[in-house]
Chain A
Amino acid sequence: MIEIRIHGRGGQGGVVASEILAKAFFKEGKYIQAFPHFGVERRGAPVAAFVRVGEPGSLFVRTNIYEPDHIIVLDPTLLTAVNVMEGLKPGGWIVVNTPQDPEELVKEVGIPPMYKVATVDATAIALKHRLGSKMSPIVNTAILGAFSRAFGAPSLENLLAAIREEAPVKPEENAAAAKEAYESTKILIPQEV
């Protein structure tokens, strides 16, 4: 069972991202679970959503995720605002929406060398594809393109199919944003991992 935690701010589409990601894994024959942090959401406040992925027929649990295998961060300001790396297992991916290169990000935020880092400028990509507004771009589909590239699953094909089915609006623009993010993701795998 793989556990993924998605960090965003209320209104950024973190919950929808969890549902799209789960559906893309489901298309690959996996058993999945996607759920929001069960709380009262406020626009702009830090929020989290969760995805579990496992083999069909394997035993799952119905709890929050405390020790994720990987994390996805929709807003780079969260890296210093909340402890997004809390409980993250060694060797896990940290996929971040930022214009910075992974090397710069690691240095600036102080990401320990036991984690793999992928960055993508999901905000610029979202704006280019007219997703959301300049004040509040919808980056959830673009960042999933980066996750697919970094983690190697779900495949871009299944991700794009899930986006087309699940995106509340502009399915083609969202799919195009994910594809562009997939192609422009920058990756850092420290030697220790």
Chain B
Amino acid sequence: MKLIEKSQYTVLKGNYAVAHGVRLARVEVISAYPITPQTTIAEKLADMTATGELKARFITVESEHSAISAVIASSLAGARSFTATASQGLALMHEMLHWATGARAPVVMVNVNRALAPSWNIWTEQTDSLAQRDTGWIQIYNESNQEVLDTTILAFKIAERVYLPTMVVLDAFILSHTSEPVEIYPQELVDEFLPPYEHPNAINFDDPRAIGAFARPEYYMEFRYNIQKAHEEALRVFKEETELFADMFGRKYDTVEEFMLDDADYVLVLAGSTATTAKYAVAQLRERGEKVGIMRIKLFRPFPVEDVRRVLSGRKKVAVIDRNVSFGHSGIFYMETRAAMYGAKDRPPIFGYVAGLGGRDVRPQDIIDIYEDMKRREEPENIIWKGVRV
């Protein structure tokens, strides 16, 4: 019997899919501070470590800043390390996110996308994680609970090959608190995919060394260059590991997902769980004979410039639907997509839409409205607000 046939199909919430991914990755140190809607990840992992289902040390802390600090240290000590947060908690970690990258600590974190305050709001929006764009973390966005579990496992493999911290992102409630079928793989199969973590310069009390040393101008720039090179390598590693994952687990992921794109003149671009509803809407548009498809961005950092160009070049028009906003400019995936397309051959006009902020529902009709609005427009605009009351 093949190992994969020992998988168990069950029903899990997104947050519990995270916890099972962490368990299967044999994480050794966890530190987290509770915040809605991430709390049930921390609770489940505390439960798993208490019962011995997961042989890890759970370090309780007084803040998110301390949680990320603890796992940076444990990662540098040679232990596979994990944390999870959302929104304000991620914002509080900001200083240490740079630190994790600079120290080349391959920590994995799950961020449950939640809108930032004020006004207080616990519902989904991607601005919290996207605002951490320049901290040097790998960022991977997800559409389903299965993908969340799979990506949590993948994240450790990728992070530990390139020594970069990695953030796995899922939407508040729409994934975190929604139950749906998930396949949980046998431990032996995950062990084959993900070998134990070893840090070549792990903290060793018998051979002490300095970490986070001072770097004067004649050295600092080389460290930064190496981080950029690691991100370029991460793009290749992401491709390799998702292919290996597909061979072993039967699920194929890529930097971008292509849906109904054959012969598509028009493309909708988005990330995260809104893609499910968008696929439903696009299938309806296809029934009406509209030549439209979807490109879902899964990998945000490193940004998959070549794949984005390959998919979008030669199309008639593109609409990017952002569940986030960079005030003073536009939606963030829009900005990134436009930047990637600059200089590409046969570049289509790209229209930027912002929708669903603070958890406002994005329904199939909203997607259809956006598609029709894009078709009507002649000149691209940076920021078109969908459904806002003004």
Contacts and interface: CB of A to CB of B under 8 A. Distances in A.
Interface of A: 18-19, 22-23, 26, 31-36, 38, 40, 59-64
Q: Which of B123, B276, B359 has the most CB of A within 10 A?
A: B276
Given A23-B11, A26-B11, A61-B363, A32 B276 contact: no
Contact of A32 (B173, B181, B283, B362): B181
Contacts of B256: none
B174 interface: yes
B277 A63 contact: yes
Interface in B176-192: 177-181
A62 B276 contact: yes
Nearest to B274: A62
A38 B11 contact: no
A62 B172 CA distance: 12
Contacts of A34: 11, 178-180
What bracket does the count of chain B residues touching chain A fall in? 20 to 34
30 contacts: A18-B179, A19-B179, A22-B11, A23-B11, A23-B179, A26-B11, A26-B181, A31-B180, A32-B11, A33-B179, A34-B11, A34-B178, A34-B179, A34-B180, A35-B173, A35-B177, A36-B173, A36-B177, A38-B172, A38-B174, A38-B359, A59-B280, A59-B283, A61-B277, A61-B363, A61-B364, A62-B178, A62-B274, A63-B362, A63-B364
Given A31-B181, A33-B179, A38-B359, A62 B174 contact: yes
Contacts of B362: 63
A59 B152 CA distance: 24
A64 B179 contact: no
Q: Which of A26, A59, A63 has the most CB of B within 10 A?
A: A63
Contacts of A31: 180-181
Given A32-B179, A59-B283, 19 more contacts: A23-B11, A26-B181, A31-B181, A32-B180, A33-B179, A34-B11, A35-B178, A35-B179, A38-B172, A38-B173, A38-B174, A38-B359, A59-B279, A60-B280, A61-B277, A61-B280, A61-B364, A62-B174, A64-B361
A59 B362 CA distance: 16
A38 B123 contact: yes
| Closest 7 A/B residue pairs (Cβ) | A38-B173, A35-B178, A34-B179, A61-B277, A59-B280, A62-B276, A61-B280
Contacts of B364: 61, 63
Interface of B: 11, 122-123, 172-174, 177-181, 273-274, 276-277, 279-280, 283, 359, 361-364
A132 to B, nearest CB: 23
Nearest to A26: B11
Contact of B11 (A19, A59, A60, A62): A19
A33 B180 contact: yes
Nearest to B124: A38
Contacts of A22: 11, 179
B279 A33 contact: no
Contacts of A18: 179
A62 B177 contact: no
Contacts of A60: 276, 280
B273 to A, nearest CB: 5
Given A31-B181, A33-B178, A36-B177, A62 B273 contact: yes
A53 to B, nearest CB: 11
A182 B178 CA distance: 27
A13 to B, nearest CB: 15
A35 B363 CA distance: 16
A179 to B, nearest CB: 22
A4 B326 CA distance: 37
Nearest to B363: A63
A18 B13 CA distance: 12
B351 to A, nearest CB: 23
A64 B277 CA distance: 11
B173 A61 contact: no
Nearest to A18: B179
Given A26-B11, A38-B123, A63 B361 contact: yes
A36 B251 CA distance: 28
Contacts of B179: 18-19, 22-23, 32-35
A40 B122 CA distance: 9
Nearest to A25: B11
Contacts of B177: 35-36, 38
A64 B122 CA distance: 16
Contacts of B274: 62
Contacts of A61: 276-277, 280, 363-364
A160 B274 CA distance: 34
Contacts of A62: 174, 178, 273-274, 276-277
Nearest to B356: A63
A13 B177 CA distance: 15
